Chain A
């Protein structure tokens, strides 16, 4: 018994434990996903989250302790974002060819992304701070937090909405696209990246490099357009309410 306790005390202190567990859980989730012919509801991100959160709750491990190990994976998000330049460069020609349709979808998608959430939230009578924190939920976390701060939302609340939007996009995005009979890789990728930022982009890369390239592009462009649009929409709204 003493040995088990000592071992656990050691393991609970080292980043090694949760780093290794995260990698194993993800790899098993990915294996399960492939074995069952890639059902969208078993997207590896979903299975990994469920298993890891359960493990943390059962072992009563605080998130801060978990993150000491997991931060080494988290850190790679930076270089991975830079790496998006490679598929974008590979599909640069196709992108320039369909520049018009891409810009149109970007503007519509960006406006709809903001207004749909705020509109439904308004119907549910959500508080004003919540609505302002909801507005930038489709864009990548650092940009969304900046926007929320600027317009009087709560950045911490926005982070929760951003990640939940990403999870929803990863979970339902491909299903909706299938239902709408969208087969074109560029449309599938662009939609996933625009509506669900990095998690949507990650899902698009599971479909292939072309979908991934367009998803990365949509994520970057929507971040920029949303950052410009939201302050204007908020000003317009206050002006109309006067």
Chain B
């Protein structure tokens, strides 16, 4: 458990240092994730040290977004001026994005599986 926390925090720290040193416009934890992913590819045994803690944190990921989300809802008056059209825009945009992304991937996966089946014959 302590080992896992050390690994996760160290990779985040390396990520934060990395983006500052190279002035990259990406969040430090994202770079930390990529570096941990590459490290796992190179050294598989490391995964046993972080796996259970990582799974535990990710199962409760929703909780971690609560403070930020509460902040936005409390500050909702920021968008009062264009409130209703904005909410409709956000909902409409989300519906279209979710629908089209899912259908595109389903279509492409179908094509891909047909291709694999074709090769198998």
Contacts and interface: CB of A to CB of B under 8 A. Distances in A.
Given A104-B108, A121-B86, A52 B66 contact: yes
A49 B100 contact: no
Interface stretch (A5-13, A34-42, A165-173, A233-241): A165-173
A69 B54 CA distance: 23
Interface in B53-99: 53-55, 57-59, 61-76, 78-79, 82, 85-99
A161 B72 CA distance: 9
Interface string A160-190: 1101111111101100110010101011101
B58 A146 contact: no
B86 A49 contact: no
B19 to A, nearest CB: 10
A148 to B, nearest CB: 12
Interface majority SS on B: helix, strand, loop or mixed? helix
Contacts of B54: 83, 85-87
Interface majority SS on A: helix, strand, loop or mixed? helix
A209 B70 contact: no
Given A168-B90, A198-B61, A53 B33 contact: no
Contact of B102 (A70, A168, A191, A198): A191
A81 to B, nearest CB: 4
B37 interface: yes
Contacts of A182: 102, 106
B47 A89 contact: yes
Residue from B53, B86, B97 whose CB has the most chain A CB atoms within 10 Å: B97
Given A172-B95, A177-B98, 13 more contacts: A79-B12, A82-B8, A84-B33, A86-B58, A101-B112, A126-B89, A160-B79, A161-B86, A168-B94, A173-B94, A191-B102, A216-B33, A220-B30
Interface of A: 22-23, 26, 30, 43-45, 48-49, 52-53, 56, 63, 66-67, 70-71, 73-74, 76-90, 92, 98, 100-102, 104-105, 108-109, 112-113, 116-117, 120-121, 124-127, 130, 134, 137-138, 140-143, 146, 156-157, 159-161, 163-170, 172-173, 176-177, 180, 182, 184, 186-188, 190-192, 194-196, 198-199, 201-203, 205-206, 209, 212, 216, 220, 223-224, 227
